[in-house]
Amino acid sequence: MSYEYLKLEEHGGVLRVGLDRPDVLNALNLELLKELADALTGPAAQESVRAVLITGNGRGFCAGADLDSTPVDADIGQMLEEHYHPVVRAIASLPKPVVAGVNGVAAGAGLALAAACDVRVASANATFTLGFTGIGLALDAGSSYFLSRLIGPGRTYELAISNRRVDAAEALAIGLVERVISHESYDLEIMAVVQSFALGATYAFGLVKEELRAALGNSLEQQLLVEARAQSAAAASQDVREGVLAFKEKRPPRFGGH
């Protein structure tokens, strides 16, 4: 598939997926969402890709649903299922780190997209707003699920009903993002962060992602079984052999991701 609203580049095990509608702060039209689901299940799933970066081209990360082309009188529930949910599911099921590089404003479903990713790294200039209730909508695109787990239900509700804009410092303080990097050297720093993940024990990273997803709904007993299974798979990997050997030889490991 060729992409009109995404720019894909692969460097050193990292697939950079740039949302590419900069004039409208990368607002999500249905074609972009279709392309994003395709990129996450096709190119991102290739073995050569060991970590994925989703970021915005231009000054914004993503301003949420494209309010010019989205018919609000349409059946939004069905539209969500057809266009938004495949993206959320693709991120969740990809067995490798998917990083949201929040380079600027993240609003509405744009914030939901960042929340659905595994890690969020924000530029110091990034801002976050839920936006949904500002136009009379409830939360969607996984935002109620992910945000209530990331920052708690109270903070999620307060952000939803105040519709205020959170800056990067507050986002870091409340756990909405995991790291903040310089705005001036954003492009270099974000690639360095994601490349460091891509050079890691990415087979184990996939297993850890699965463990953490399972933990969201499991009892302790169920989760102990999940961990035992994951660790058996990890222990049988080449990366473990390399990791232990590198430790004994007092050198940095060279993980292959399998």
> Where in 59-88 is the site for ligand T3D (CB under 6 A)?
63-68, 70, 72, 76
Kindly tell me which residue out of 6, 19, 25, 204 binds ligand T3D, with binding defined by CB under 6 A. 25
Q: Does 140 bind ligand T3D (CB under 6 A)?
A: yes
Q: Does 175 bind ligand T3D (CB under 6 A)?
A: no
What are the distances in angstroms from CA 34 to CA 30, 112, 171, 175, 193? Answer: 6, 16, 29, 29, 27
Q: Does 15 bind ligand T3D (CB under 6 A)?
A: no
Give whichever of 43 and 64 is closer to ligand T3D, judged by the CB atom.
64
- Alpha-carbon distance of 113 to 62, in angstroms, equals 9
Minimum distance of ligand T3D from residue 101's CB (angstroms) = 17
In contact, 96 and 206? CB cutoff 8 Å: yes
Q: Does 129 bind ligand T3D (CB under 6 A)?
A: yes
Nearest CA to 162 out of 187, 131, 184 is that of: 131
Minimum distance of ligand T3D from residue 201's CB (angstroms) = 36
Q: Where are the beta strands (DSSP E) in the chain?
A: 6-11, 14-19, 51-56, 98-102, 105-107, 119-123, 127-129, 166-167, 179-181
Give whichever of 85 and 229 is closer to ligand T3D, judged by the CB atom.
85
- Alpha-carbon distance of 253 to 168, in angstroms, equals 33
Minimum distance of ligand T3D from residue 244's CB (angstroms) = 47
Which residues would be at the binding site for ligand T3D (CB under 6 A)? 24-25, 27, 63-68, 70, 72, 76, 105, 107-109, 129, 131-132, 134-135, 137, 140
